[in-house]
Structure 1
Amino acid sequence: MTRSFVTGATGLIGRHLVDRLLARGGAVSILLRPGSRASRRGALERWGERVEVWPGDVTEPGLGLSDAHAAALADIDHVFHVAGYYDLEGAPAQMEAVNVEGTRRLLALLEGRGFAGVLHHVSSVAVAGTHDGAFGEDMLDEGQGFAHPYHRSKHASETLVRSSTLRWRVYRPSAVVGHSKTGQMDRIDGPYFLFRAIHALRNALPPWVTLPGFEGPALNMVPVDFVADAIAAIASQPGLDARGFHLVDPAPPGFRQTFNLIADAAGAPKLGKARLGKLTRMLPGANHVIAQLESLRFMRRELAADFGVPASVRAAANPDVTYETTNVEAALASTGIRCPPQSAYVEALWDYYLRNLDPKRDRKKRYAAAFAGKRALVTGASSGIGRAMALTLAEAGAHVVLVARRRAELEQLRDEIETAGGEATVAPADLTDHAAVDAMMARALPVDLLINNAGKSIRRPLAESLERFHDLERVMQINFFAPARLIRSALPSMRERGGHIVNVLSAGAHFPSPRFGAYTASKAALSQLGDVLAAEHLHENVRVTNAYLHWVRTPMMDATGKYEDTRAMTPEEATAMVLDGVLDRKQHVARGTDVRRFALARIHPSGLARILNVLYRIYADDPATHPELELDRQVLKRFVRGRLL
């Protein structure tokens, strides 16, 4: 009976490999960190007594094995070194500790314990680094550079294996994705960031839209079941020592084709045929010049970040390399094992991603990842949206600075936050008092997140507000000048360290709202200030989110007494809408129905004015002023609950 020892056995590749080794009738022992048994219960229970667990850790001397287990390595036929640290956003020191020093410790242990079997080392095509052109399976040191610490660590670990005194075989998979039949995958990484981008496009645009196309480099990815099948099959064959095997897609489609395959599975817009490529081919050196333009680099960075693609992932990509497959094709020729084409498994990957990996499925977890340890200042925190915003941010781990006029209500909110385990600071201030605002901000700074939520609404026909000119002055003081003053204080530190400014606005800032002219004009002013701020400071990582909210059931809405029956969002729903927009790096946040209203206001403002004028008269506070619309008024009441204006 063949005896195997596997490191990294409970990881994505390792689990599938152990299944294959067991299916071949072998005896399998695995290395498992002592504290990992509970989290790996599913795989361990499935394997049962067929797998012997050896407690240990590749970062410990001698892998942390007991003397008995270390001595038993002399009787092992195959060691599969699958353990590795693959997190492109992870710390380089951790990559070094696991990928390089872990391999070094394994080699020393095997050589010192008289291991005479074959070491099967799972490396990566990342060893090619910045190589330009075809990279052979037995090539390693070709003068290439390394744009990412992960690449360097995999190259160093493979170098150790190839220079050892042991018998060895090296396997280099490209980007490993989920199972080709079930789509099952552990987490989002590598190609899955493209899934996030396509998901965002699906939510923003109808599927019949054709996006501007471009021909990018091939995205070489391989299903995990193919990788495990290939390693197990090659390991069972004699005479293949001292060779490398590229476990890659031998004929990957171009980027546009891969994008469209995923988009088709997702029901998202597809990329059209590239047009710019023809032009650049006509101009020698154009591609090189275009690649050096900082303006285009900035746009690429921004777009990638909008779709949640980390800078580390972008840095890890090498569009100029291809991978030879001579050895692996020869080794698998008689096995029937082939890497399936992307078209055969992309739908399964998408389905599993949508049901299990989509980060938006768990809002609390997503908020915690984004806001934990951050410092957020919320104005209008004593009630309504501000109160809900403060509670949500505190629950996510942010330290919240609570700003409003009423100290007692802020202290009550702070106590509620602290009782739940959060952190908050009370900062009472009258936002119309500029000196008080400046003093409060001097104590509160620096902040990572400034939420301008405090607001004042006046419901009155514009002609009356113009006669009572202090209506405009009052709303401008609290809705525009106060946020501008807060931004003035926060901006210098944000320009140095980055930050996010949120302006809680009204849908009326983009859409005429009769009886709220003074209020919506002040919100429109803040909207423009926010948009200009973003245009001038994006390169300094100062973000702005303008949230255009419709009816929200708050004390400010209820104060008029006119809208008890009108459908409205809760403060918690509004909070989720705004914070989702912050995490998605959206500059404008609005409901889909409001976006359509905004479009109508731009496309046909005079037609919209006619509709609103009729509604303004139908919903007159004193119906007797427009008796000619009484029948219209009664008909509308039968179909619409509450007031539209």
Structure 2
Amino acid sequence: MNSFITGATGFIGSQLLRRLAKRPGEIYVLSFSEACEERLQSLIEKYQLPKNKFHSYRGSITEPNLALSADDIKSLTGKITNFYHLAAIYDLEAEEEAMMRANINGTENTLRLAERINAGCFHYVSSIAVAGQFRGWFREDMLDEATGLDHPYFSTKHDAEKLVKETATIPWRAYRPGIVIGDSVTGEADRVDGPYYFFKIIQRLRRSLPEWMPLLGLEGGRLNLVPVDYVADCIDHISHKDNVEGQCFHLVDPDPYRAGEVINMFAEAGHAPKMAMRLDMRLFRMVPNNFWSQLSHLPVLKRFLDALSQEIQVPKDAVGMFNYPTQFDCTNTLNALSDSEISCPRLPDYANNIWDYWERHLDPSLHIDRTLKGCVNNKVIALTGASSGIGYTTALKLAETNATLVLIARDLERLQQTRNEVERRGGRAYIYQCDLSKDEPSQQVLEEIKRDHGKVDILINNAGRSIRRSIMHSTERLHDYERTMQINYFGSLRMILGLLPKMVEQKSGHVINISSIAVLTNQPRFSAYAASKSALDSFTRTAGAELCGQGVNFTTINMPLVETPMIADHYRKAEGGIPLLTSEEASELIVKAIIEKPKRIANRLGLFAALVHGVYPKIGELVMSTGFNMAPESDGLEHDSDPKQDSADVMALSSIIREIHM
């Protein structure tokens, strides 16, 4: 009982191959390329299959007779009992022309060869996609009833199966697998589509929110997920049964879960928060269909959906499947399996295996260079405030990469020391002395940088000043606010506006602004500093919206308090005082920003404070007022409270938030 198989090294084919190898007879495999032949040999070795059973033929389903020679065809004639056709294009994002060549022309060429060599039975692996967007139950004897075949994948699989049913001159059977995912036992898969598209969103939620946090989501339609081992078991078993020719078999879950349930199962497997409340998308059916049709054709909505799809890394077609309207009857399949122990595993029993294999082997992030060296290789990085504190330690970290450092600061002597240390560590640095609070020197330096380097790939706006003084001690010190705005806001703005045009032109660039947790907490005594950083934050958000999709990324780091010369002495002096980040720890946040390019980096305390101020502003005000009354004014200013009590209060606060870091 010999078999011929196309697509033998594919997702389903490789599983079917292992099952056919356990049966008597030879196995003839169509290999599209040398890579396919190598993969076949790899599968044989990996699963210790008997090598003498396999025979590889080089060919292509898009060519007549699959590009086999006359001698090959002659040698196969009369030898093949079961001819399995699995080769096809399953990628929803593939070009329509490529789908037509592979799925329709490829099926016709394969069927004609099977007829020419007088194969015993032609086994065509179709898909539930042949139903299109049919609303309701789709039976195994239905095909022409399909509706909504607008997508090329749906239409090509539908037309290919119709071709087999209407033109085959030898016995045939058709198999329609559901949405095929990894092995139910090992989780193993070799492609990422279907529900896998939503795994990155689940992963992001896990990193951003605690597992216990309830979320609001959508219920969606029923997603018919089936593990690949079940599909292979079904094809292997049914293809060796008698008296079922001319039938179609739905290889599906008889009782599939809704999309919202599926997402929750994988969220649980990934230890991410789940959707505690899910809105049934059938509610939207109350809106007339022509409204949705008109809405979908709006150019502005199309652009938004394209950008959203790119951001969440989920193809638009996959999002559309979330509310899939079709359910599949599988009576033929269940009858054919009644004499076996084969049954479809339940998703909750193997969701952990699917998630675990994806996260260990298929997560796209695994193949991205996440090292600092890889992310800044041969890039030009401009760093302001590079002569001390966070800027100095950041420059030393970047010294160990192949980036060109453009270091900017006021203090030339210390700037030279920074360059010397960078070069001692093997780095490459150029220094530019400039007071960024002044316009003319800033414009001069920008022209020098553009002349010397042509471009800047990454701009780190780190230079800044902080003034710790309560408002009532600043009523006659308007210049405090002017000075902080000049360096913290206008200084950063000059750098951004000067370097941004080239970034947009090359469709590549990254602006990292060092902001403060004071922006999120509205920290007392830092009104001048917080106001200047808030202005920069607002500009960054606006710029991000205007330049979205143009290759320029903006990151805001709401930096906690850092132990630098800019921070008031009392934060450092008190034993057990407010916990501060070191410059080394702060520079690690900048490294994280360079590598991951997030919109914002902020700690839990800052985010929680922003939430409180947004939802219960009066409570937030009272909390910050309490902190204001616990700490003394800066040295040299009058302060009426007891310093010892101040220190005790600060220590008490520190014990609560020590692990959070302000």
Quickly name the TM-score band, shorter chain normalised.
0.7 to 0.9
d(CA) in 2 for partners of 1:627, 1:643: 25
3-state SS of 1:510 partner: helix
3-state SS of 1:79 partner: strand
One-letter amino acid matched to 2:8: A
Q: Residue in 1 aligned with 2:193?
A: 189
d(CA) in 1 for partners of 2:572, 2:10: 56
Contact 2:259 2:323 in 1 (8 A): no
Change in 2 beyond 3 A, CA 1:316/1:637: closer
Contact 2:122 2:171 in 1 (8 A): yes
Q: Deviations over 1:65-117 (max 9, x none)?
A: 566554433222222222233333444454445434443443454445x2423
Which of 113, 120, 131 is the equivalent residue of 1:128? 131
Contact 1:137 1:324 in 2 (8 A): yes
Q: Which has the larger radius of gyration?
A: 2
One-letter amino acid matched to 1:574: L
Q: CA shift at 1:556, angstroms?
A: 8.6
One-letter amino acid matched to 1:595: L
Within-5 A mapping of 1:104-119: 104-112=108-116, 114-119=117-122
Q: Residue in 2 aligned with 1:549?
A: 559
Contact 1:618 1:633 in 2 (8 A): no
d(CA) in 2 for partners of 1:6, 1:155: 21
Contact 2:18 2:49 in 1 (8 A): no
Alignment partner of 1:480 is 2:489: yes
Q: Deviations over 1:3-59 (max 9, x none)?
A: 112222222211211121123334323334313455666522124434425152536
Change in 2 beyond 3 A, CA 1:614/1:279: same
Q: CA shift at 1:247, angstroms?
A: 1.3
Q: Deviations over 1:451-489 (max 9, x none)?
A: 552232224433698877666545434432355456667
Contact 1:29 1:53 in 2 (8 A): yes
Q: Which moved more, 1:246-255 or 1:633-642?
A: 633-642
3-state SS of 2:194 partner: coil
3-state SS of 1:200 partner: helix
Q: Residue in 2 aligned with 1:578?
A: 593
Which of 594, 606, 611 is the equivalent residue of 2:622? 606
Q: Residue in 2 aligned with 1:18?
A: 17
Which of 351, 355, 359 is the equivalent residue of 1:350? 355
Q: Residue in 1 aligned with 2:242?
A: 238
Change in 2 beyond 3 A, CA 1:643/1:119: closer
Q: Residue in 1 aligned with 2:261?
A: 257
Which of 165, 178, 182 is the equivalent residue of 2:182? 178
Change in 2 beyond 3 A, CA 1:279/1:364: closer
d(CA) in 1 for partners of 2:267, 2:404: 42
Alignment partner of 1:248 is 2:252: yes
Q: Deviations over 1:126-162 (max 9, x none)?
A: 2233444443434444574544333344334434444
Contact 1:381 1:403 in 2 (8 A): no
Q: Deviations over 1:290-338 (max 9, x none)?
A: 7865799998777765543222422566723333324323322333423
Q: Deviations over 1:558-613 (max 9, x none)?
A: 9999979954454773245325664xxx6433233432344466542332343255
Change in 2 beyond 3 A, CA 1:318/1:594: closer
Q: Residue in 2 aligned with 1:524?
A: 534
d(CA) in 2 for partners of 1:190, 1:446: 44
Aligned residues: 626
Q: Residue in 1 aligned with 2:412?
A: none
Alignment partner of 1:154 is 2:170: no
Q: Residue in 2 aligned with 1:628?
A: 644
Q: Residue in 2 aligned with 1:457?
A: 464
Q: CA shift at 1:379, angstroms?
A: 5.6
Change in 2 beyond 3 A, CA 1:213/1:310: closer
d(CA) in 2 for partners of 1:142, 1:413: 74
Unaligned runs of 5+ in 1: none
Contact 1:509 1:524 in 2 (8 A): yes
Contact 1:266 1:350 in 2 (8 A): yes
Alignment partner of 1:49 is 2:56: no
Change in 2 beyond 3 A, CA 1:540/1:643: closer
d(CA) in 2 for partners of 1:327, 1:238: 13
Q: Residue in 2 aligned with 1:596?
A: 608
Q: Deviations over 1:367-388 (max 9, x none)?
A: 999x899999866497668769
Change in 2 beyond 3 A, CA 1:115/1:277: closer
Change in 2 beyond 3 A, CA 1:151/1:529: same
Q: CA shift at 1:219, angstroms?
A: 1.1
3-state SS of 1:191 partner: helix
Q: CA shift at 1:177, angstroms?
A: 0.8
Q: Which moved more, 1:451-460 or 1:268-277?
A: 268-277
With the length of structure 1 as denominator, give the TM-score of the two structures: 0.76
Q: Deviations over 1:213-241 (max 9, x none)?
A: 54311111111111001101111012333
Q: Residue in 2 aligned with 1:206?
A: 210
One-letter amino acid matched to 2:588: E
Change in 2 beyond 3 A, CA 1:186/1:630: same
Q: Deviations over 1:430-451 (max 9, x none)?
A: 664575588699999999x975
Change in 2 beyond 3 A, CA 1:175/1:277: closer
Within-5 A mapping of 1:555-570: 566-568=580-582, 570=585
d(CA) in 1 for partners of 2:124, 2:422: 55
Within-5 A mapping of 1:246-395: 246-274=250-278, 284-285=286-287, 289=291, 307-315=312-320, 319-361=324-366, 364=369, 380=384
Q: Which moved more, 1:219-228 or 1:634-643?
A: 634-643
3-state SS of 1:334 partner: coil
3-state SS of 1:462 partner: coil
Q: Which moved more, 1:173-182 or 1:470-479?
A: 470-479
Q: Which moved more, 1:60-69 or 1:374-383?
A: 374-383
Q: Residue in 2 aligned with 1:5?
A: 4
d(CA) in 2 for partners of 1:288, 1:230: 41
d(CA) in 1 for partners of 2:408, 2:465: 19
d(CA) in 1 for partners of 2:561, 2:524: 14
With the length of structure 2 as denominator, give the TM-score of the two structures: 0.74
d(CA) in 2 for partners of 1:191, 1:247: 17
Change in 2 beyond 3 A, CA 1:598/1:271: closer
Alignment partner of 1:223 is 2:224: no
Q: Which moved more, 1:437-446 or 1:73-82?
A: 437-446
Contact 1:410 1:426 in 2 (8 A): no
Change in 2 beyond 3 A, CA 1:366/1:628: closer
d(CA) in 2 for partners of 1:52, 1:620: 89
Unaligned runs of 5+ in 2: 410-414, 574-578
Contact 1:176 1:221 in 2 (8 A): yes
Change in 2 beyond 3 A, CA 1:642/1:497: closer
